[in-house]
Amino acid sequence: MKADGDASSPAGEATSVRVWDLPVRLVHWVIVVLMAVSWSTAEYDWIEWHKVSGYSMLAVVSFRLYWGFRGSTTARFKQFVRGPAAVVRHARSLFSRPERTAELGHSPLGGWNVIAMLLLLLVQVCLGLFAIDVYGIESGPLADWVSFDTGRRIARLHQSVFNLLCVFVSLHVVAILGYLFFRRENLILPMVTGVKRVLRGDAERGDGR
């Protein structure tokens, strides 16, 4: 990540740093929309649109997994999937140090939450491919490979995994609101614009992490 602010600006001055590349931001907001669409189409029995939403989700999540290896620095798993020591250190710093840490990209805890959400989304769409509705009429495109009973059980699991997803999405949102209100750090705007305002010294620290 390059700081693209004025290189001669003294430490302590705010500068703009590019945090998220365009594909990461697009994928993020498309997933938000698709989750809302998937939930509402399931709730109101618009199964045709639910399927379209599911296929789109499969494509988007697959791309995100690919981008985790080929994307820019903060998009890569290598950058944000951290070991337990880093996670514990980060969790402690959340409560003991109120000042900004100037991390660019996912935090060690948030990174694992992202992994959990992506994996659950992948599991969720794959389950949907085999799910069968209570009438034995509507089903995922691969449901002919399983029996009605198995398809029904998969459909129930499809519901349970959605609940689990809600738990991790809530953690994600609560953490972001926590940053916003307790640490005065807006993480939402950078996910829209791709750019984060940080203090110059912080940017360098964040950069060299």
- Distance, in Å, from the CA atom of 121 to the CA atom of 96, rounded to the nearest integer, reads 33
- Distance, in Å, from the CA atom of 168 to the CA atom of 126, rounded to the nearest integer, reads 19
Residue length of the chain: 209
- Distance, in Å, from the CA atom of 173 to the CA atom of 181, rounded to the nearest integer, reads 12
The one segment of 88-96, 109-117, 136-144, 185-193 that binds other proteins by CB under 8 A: 136-144
159 binds other proteins (CB under 8 A): yes
Decide whether 104 or 131 has the Cβ nearer to other proteins.
131
Closest separation in Å from C-beta 108 to other proteins: 25
Assigned token pair, 10? 């003294």
From the centroid of its chain, how far is CA 101?
21
Q: CA 115, 116, 119 angle in degrees (round to 5)? A: 80
Closest separation in Å from C-beta 134 to other proteins: 6
- Distance, in Å, from the CA atom of 133 to the CA atom of 4, rounded to the nearest integer, reads 53
DSSP state for residue 144 in the 8-state scheme: G
The one segment of 10-18, 108-116, 158-166, 189-197 that binds other proteins by CB under 8 A: 158-166
Per the CB < 8 A criterion, the answer to whether 110 and 175 are in contact is: yes
Binder of other proteins out of 152, 172, 197, 205 (CB under 8 A): 152
149 binds other proteins (CB under 8 A): yes
The one segment of 100-108, 109-117, 128-136, 185-193 that binds other proteins by CB under 8 A: 128-136
Closest separation in Å from C-beta 57 to other proteins: 19
Closest to 196 (Cα-Cα) out of 186, 209, 181, 208: 186
157 binds other proteins (CB under 8 A): yes
85 binds other proteins (CB under 8 A): no
Decide whether 33 or 167 has the Cβ nearer to other proteins.
167
Closest separation in Å from C-beta 170 to other proteins: 13
Residues lying near other proteins in the complex (CB under 8 A): 132-137, 139, 144, 147-149, 151-153, 155-157, 159-160, 163-164, 167
